[in-house]
């Protein structure tokens, strides 16, 4: 393709070639007239004589042969391993004795989807979606989280000290004995369109807790002008209960469930769970469960109002204009 400073366009090449081939100009004179080298003038003249006007257009710069290109048989082996095992370039390269960069180029050349875009169980491309307005769909999920003993666990102390803290906390809280310090359950609700999130830490995942959580979550969304139309959950027992069904029905909300063994369907809630763990639960060394719980409201405010969400190009508040506290 001609660049911006090229002295000859296809029309100029045609004029040069006709001057030499049809009017009998010497190559040197034609080269001086069109301000190109004699070799360039000869090349376009020879192409004109061989191909006519069609030979004046740009040709692909791709080489006719590529002796160092990966053999077709090797490319087929790379594609076969990717399709059957769903491995990345590094693992495929180690198996076949190739460079990871070579494997990556082959995968890109054939347009194979990235592993992040595939369902690991079936190998199919994940179909991503987003509802058009807030409230059309709210994702609800529960995440189990181990409690932190007073003084800190083994992640900030050595394991022996962490075990001592755990035993001391268990004895203080449960003097009659209990085998472990226990777990907390993060009940989360995430709006599909805006990603606005509401979270509570509850002691269990029973129907009573789930229904009470949703009642407060619905009030949270309503306080920001969001009317919930559908709720998507997994197939947990608390979401199969009559109380859960009656609570949603009374509010005029349709309940949808994910397909069994397909957590990707509820992917926005799963992704929010990971964000909670990375940016709140395990973000810094907490010395007690009380300290970690005290940090949750600040994180939720930061997430909803200030944290840049890459999927929507800003914080959830930007998609809900009347969200209270948006500028704080």
Q: What is the pLDDT of residue 178?
A: 53
Residue 42 Rama label (left phi>0; alpha psi -120 to 50; beta): alpha
For residue range 87-119, list pLDDT tens digits in order. 889 999 999 999 999 999 999 988 887 776 666
Q: What is the pLDDT of residue 13?
A: 93
Q: What is the pLDDT of residue 284?
A: 85
- Residue 95: phi and psi, rounded to 5, are -70, -40
Q: Which helix (H) or strand (E) holds 139?
A: strand 138-146
**Residue 22 half-sphere exposure toward CB, CA atoms < 13 A:** 9
**Residue 186 half-sphere exposure toward CB, CA atoms < 13 A:** 26
Determine contact, residues 131/137, Cβ cutoff 8 Å: yes
Q: How far apart are CA 81 and CA 90, in angstroms?
A: 12
For residue range 10-44, list pLDDT tens digits in order. 999 999 999 999 999 999 999 999 999 999 999 99
More confident of the two residues 174 and 52: 52
Tokens of 282: 């395990």
- Residue 254: phi and psi, rounded to 5, are -85, 135
For residue range 240-280, list pLDDT tens digits in order. 999 999 999 999 999 999 887 776 678 888 889 999 999 99
Look up tokens 């799963």; give the residue: 270
- Min mean pLDDT across 162-166, 206-210, 219-223, 303-307 is at 162-166
Contact residues for 77 (Cβ-Cβ < 8 A; gap 6+): 96
Contact residues for 214 (Cβ-Cβ < 8 A; gap 6+): 140, 189, 231, 244, 247, 248
Tokens of 52: 């006519």
Q: Which fold has domain 138-147+182-319?
A: Nucleotidyltransferase; domain 5 (3.30.420)
User: Over the Cα atoms of the chain, what is R_g?
Assistant: 33
Q: How far apart are CA 224 and CA 196, in angstroms?
A: 10
Q: How far apart are CA 70 and CA 66, in angstroms?
A: 9
- What integer best gives the mean pLDDT of the chain? 85
């Amino acid at each position: 393709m001609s660049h911006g400073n090229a002295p000859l366009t296809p029309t100029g090449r045609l004029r040069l070639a006709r001057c030499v081939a049809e009017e009998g100009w010497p190559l040197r004179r034609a080269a001086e007239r069109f301000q190109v080298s004699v070799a360039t003038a000869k090349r376009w003249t020879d192409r004109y004589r061989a191909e006519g006007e069609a030979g004046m257009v740009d040709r692909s710069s791709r080489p006719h042969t590529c002796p160092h290109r990966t053999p077709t048989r090797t490319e087929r082996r790379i594609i076969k391993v990717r399709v059957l095992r769903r491995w990345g370039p590094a693992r495929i390269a180690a198996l076949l004795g190739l460079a990871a960069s070579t494997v990556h180029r082959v995968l890109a050349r054939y347009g194979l989807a990235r592993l992040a875009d595939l369902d690991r169980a079936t190998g199919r491309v994940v179909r991503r979606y987003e509802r058009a307005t807030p409230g059309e769909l709210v994702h609800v999920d529960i995440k189990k989280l181990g409690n932190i003993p007073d003084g800190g666990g083994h992640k900030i102390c050595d394991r022996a000290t962490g075990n001592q803290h755990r035993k001391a906390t268990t004895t203080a809280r449960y003097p009659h004995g209990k085998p472990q310090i226990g777990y907390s359950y993060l009940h989360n609700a995430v709006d599909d369109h805006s990603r606005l999130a509401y979270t509570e830490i509850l002691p269990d995942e029973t129907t009573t807790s789930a229904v009470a959580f949703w009642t407060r979550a619905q009030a949270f969304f309503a306080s920001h002008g969001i009317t919930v139309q559908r709720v998507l959950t997994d197939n947990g027992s608390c979401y199969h209960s009559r109380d859960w069904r009656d609570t949603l029905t009374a509010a005029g909300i349709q309940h949808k469930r994910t397909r069994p063994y397909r957590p990707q369907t509820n992917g926005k809630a799963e992704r929010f769970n990971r964000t909670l763990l990375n940016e709140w639960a395990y973000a810094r060394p907490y010395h007690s469960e009380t300290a970690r719980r005290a940090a949750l409201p600040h994180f939720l405010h930061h997430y909803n109002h200030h944290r840049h969400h890459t999927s929507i190009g800003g914080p959830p508040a930007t998609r809900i204009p009347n969200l209270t506290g948006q500028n704080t």
